[in-house]
Structure 1
Amino acid sequence: MAEVQLFGLWGSFFSHRIEIALKLKGVEYEFIEEDLSNKSPLLLQYNSIHKKVPVLVHKGNPIAESRVILEYIDDTWKGHPILPENPHERANARFWAQFIDEKCRVALRNAYGCQEKEREEEATREACELLKTLENELKDRRFFGGDRIGLVDIVANFIGFWLGAIQEALEVKLFTEERFPKLYRWSEEFVNCSIIRESLPPRDKLISFMRRRYGLSS
């Protein structure tokens, strides 16, 4: 058995977060693909509460929930810090990571999942406002972590890659360079980093997956 195992799903941006962190740290790991319609006994054992991916197993000890796993990786392996050393900056990074997960991601999901026109327009407005807030936090930095990828960038991988695939699948344009020039530039910088690019799922496969997920023909 490998010392480090990652139970994940090829198309999961939550799983991809962990792959990014491990690759940035230079940690070798075994990726174990899960079938969420037929979850393995090990996954159910290692994450008995949520029964979801990702789960990191290090020396036989499981850790669940992607943001918790990211901090564990940063505490366990040195090199390429994911979180800042300064306590205030660390707290700020945690705040924006939570903002992305609990505000931006939820608003975008609502915007793309609404069936009623009026509610869709309201959800789209909210999503745009939140993305603009995130863009204002980015300012003119290359990454949220400064000159290197950090916690906020990793958690924002959904915006950096998955959002474009969803937009292409649904043939909609919410996240555009015209609306969010700085955030859009960040997404291109992020995706074109060699470590990020090497671990991304095939775009065509992801688009087909998203079309099926939203009930469209592939």
Structure 2
Amino acid sequence: MTDVKLLGLWYSPFSHRVEWALKIKGVKYEFIEEDLQNKSPLLLESNPVHKKVPVLIHNGKSICESMVIVEYIDEAFEGPSILPKDPYDRAVARFWAKFLEDKVPAVGKTFFRKGEEQEKSKEEALEVLKILDNELKDKKFFVGDKFGFADIAANFVGLWLGAFEEASGVVLVTRETFPNFCAWRDEYINCSENKEYLPPKDELIAHFKARFQAVAAGSK
């Protein structure tokens, strides 16, 4: 009997990357909601370096960093493959996962900035989205026709970006400017491998609207 625990946050795209991998593999697990303002001893013990979620605890051993955890789950458990079998496709999937890890945080920061800082951040975000739109031309997913590793890595722009836009009133994506990206996002949200695992968008919007309002109030 394997013992699997996931330390995370319900609204975190990083935690949900791991949840999707576990669900794709059919792994039963215990989800432990953390409070980042009052981190549990278990979190501090399990991730003493970064002290952040998500953390997977498998038979008493801790694994940290969301995409590292996804690869671990793919290798440690039976079930459908998350990374492609073909070596070239695996390399492509890892390349785009790394690109998303490096570049997407700049997209998220746009919504928490104001004035000139926000405009500069918006330019950077639009450049990232332009690259993704170009890559996704004539493609259902990042690698072939199967939802997989790179698409899991792209979950922030797949769902959370839209929630951020609605919660903040700052719009980055339109179908006119990024048609290929929007087609991928539609597929991402509605594909059978993913749809049942997504958190409710209205709950995400409500959560982040409160966050943005708190940030705005604190900056006055």
Per the alignment, in what secondary structure is the counterpart of residue 136 of structure 1?
A: helix
Q: CA RMSD in A?
A: 1.8
Q: Is the 8 A contact 1:2 1:30 kept in 2?
A: no
- What are the residue-to-residue correspondences of 1:6-17 with 2, within 5 Å? 6-17=6-17
- Measure the CA separation in 2 of the matches of 1:106 and 1:58: 28
Cross-structure match for 1:163: 161
CA shift, 1:17, in A, is 0.3
Q: Give CA-to-partner distance per residue, 1:1-31, whole Å, 9 cap, x none.
A: 9611111110000000011111111111111
Q: Is the 8 A contact 1:23 1:195 kept in 2?
A: no
Aligned length: 215
- Opposite residue 135 of structure 1, the aligned amino acid is D
Matched, 1:66 2:66: yes
- Measure the CA separation in 2 of the matches of 1:8 and 1:122: 31
- Measure the CA separation in 2 of the matches of 1:172 and 1:26: 37
- What are the residue-to-residue correspondences of 1:56-95 with 2, within 5 Å? 56-95=56-95
Cross-structure match for 2:106: 107
Point out where structure 2 has 5 or more consecutive residues left out of the alignment: none
Taking only the aligned residue pairs, the percentage that are identical comes to: 54
- Measure the CA separation in 1 of the matches of 2:201 and 2:6: 22
Per the alignment, in what secondary structure is the counterpart of residue 72 of structure 1?
A: helix
- Measure the CA separation in 1 of the matches of 2:112 and 2:35: 24
Q: Which runs of 4+ in 1 moved over 6 A?
A: none
- What are the residue-to-residue correspondences of 1:1-218 with 2, within 5 Å? 3-103=3-103, 105-116=104-115, 118-215=116-213
- Measure the CA separation in 2 of the matches of 1:202 and 1:137: 28
Per the alignment, in what secondary structure is the counterpart of residue 108 of structure 2?
A: helix
- Measure the CA separation in 2 of the matches of 1:146 and 1:58: 31
Q: Is the 8 A contact 1:2 1:29 kept in 2?
A: no
Q: Give CA-to-partner distance per residue, 1:113-153, whole Å, 9 cap, x none.
A: 2212x332232222112111112222212111322111110
